[in-house]
Amino acid sequence: MSDINIRIENRTGRITLTRPAALNAMTYDMCMAIDAALKAWRDEPKVAMVMFDAEGDKAFCAGGDIAELYKTGKAGDYGYGRTFWRDEYRMNAMIAAYPKPVVSFLQGFTMGGGVGIGCHGSLRIVGESSRIALPECGIGLVPDVGGSQILARLDREAPGMGAWIGATGLRLAQGDATFGFADRFLPEADWAEAKERMIAESAAKVPEAGAPASEIRPYLGQMAAHFATGTPAEILESLKADSSEPAQAAAKAMERSCPLSVACHIEILRRLGPDCSMEEALRLEYRFTWRCMEQGDFLEGIRAQIIDKDRKPKWRHANLAEVSAAEVEAMLAPLGDDELTFH
């Protein structure tokens, strides 16, 4: 497949995304190719570890390729999207529980679907260009691909931290990524040598290198005071009353995002808690994504951001105060026979 290069080098199963012109956005075919490779290598004694990387310097993977999701959804076919998300989430869960080391090199943008393949392994490496984000609330989705588990666990670091990152689509620089999305900073000039050594030694390890200082750490306590409690509408009003730059930036980002998505995202994190499992997170995410085309704002979000690019989505709700608890409950209610399974 021209979009992805899957092979075995020495005892390393290597998966390289090869769509740099498209910021390595992941298609359904790429997702299923990764799924098949991981299944084949799981019990293969000739493969000792797995390595994810990508061509180009702008992005490891900037998300899913959503053109087909939009096309089929607008035609009234919600099955394609539901199948895509179901199979993608199962693959994400397999990475998180993989019995062999999984290494990822996350240059440039790692967003959405890129988080799903790059941020659940056992050794996640960032460099100077790395920017990690879950911006789904801006397109009528919620942080998914297991991202809600990472965000929920951040409450151990600071209550409300995950809600802040997800509700605003905050981009985390390399010094921030090691909170929950990455394990190690390594200068990108050293990546080629590190990959060669890992492959030669079949060992998932890189030399220690001091990460740059976190840009958001100084504001964690302040933002926790806004995001840790209260309804989404109350959180927004609290931010707007805080004249500091971080609070004002967060308020503006929340006001641009889809109100239903923000409300559901915050509820998902509160239901999960910091001790949640990957499968629990994916099940809740799937309840939302299963409904997001028919009952949510996903198609309008894609139209405004990707198709027409007018950046003026007409959300179902004018603001967060209009989103009722009953509507959030309806988006996250069990799916019965359609509930996400992992078998």
- 303-342 pLDDT, tens digit each: 999 899 999 999 999 999 999 999 999 999 999 999 999 9
Separation CA 324–CA 295 (nearest Å): 14
Put residue 325 in one of left, alpha, beta given phi > 0 → left and psi -120 to 50 → alpha: alpha
Task: Look at residue 1 and tell me whether its pLDDT is greater than 60.
Answer: no
pTM of the predicted structure, to 2 decimals: 0.96
Catalytic residue flag (residue 275): no
Please give the Cα distance from 181 to 184 (Å, whole number). Answer: 10
Q: Is 144 a catalytic residue?
A: yes
CA–CA separation, 56 and 276 (whole Å): 35
Q: Tokens for 44?
A: 């293969």
In this structure, is the dihedral angle defined by the CA atoms of residues 37, 22, 114 and 72, taken in order, positive or negative? negative
Least confident of 23-37, 59-73, 104-118, 138-152: 59-73
Opening angle at CA 47, ends 200 and 25, nearest 5: 90
Marked catalytic residue, from 112, 113, 146, 296: 113
Q: Does domain 136-167+217-343 have CATH number 3.10.620.30?
A: no
Domains 1-133+180-213 and 136-167+217-343 are alike in CATH topology: yes
Strand 12-17 to 4-9 pairing: antiparallel
**Catalytic annotation on 180?**
no
The first and second tokens of residue 135, run together, are 């911006």
In the chain, domain spans: 1-133+180-213, 136-167+217-343
Distance set, CA 324 to CA 140, 144, 232, 251, 330 (Å): 16, 22, 11, 20, 10
Output the average pLDDT for the chain: 95
Q: Quick check: 70 pLDDT over 60?
A: yes
CATH architecture for segment(s) 1-133+180-213 = Alpha-Beta Complex (3.90)
Q: Which of 53, 65, 88, 136 is catalytic?
A: 136
55: its two tokens: 């061509």
Selecting among 65, 144, 155, 297, the annotated active-site residue is 144
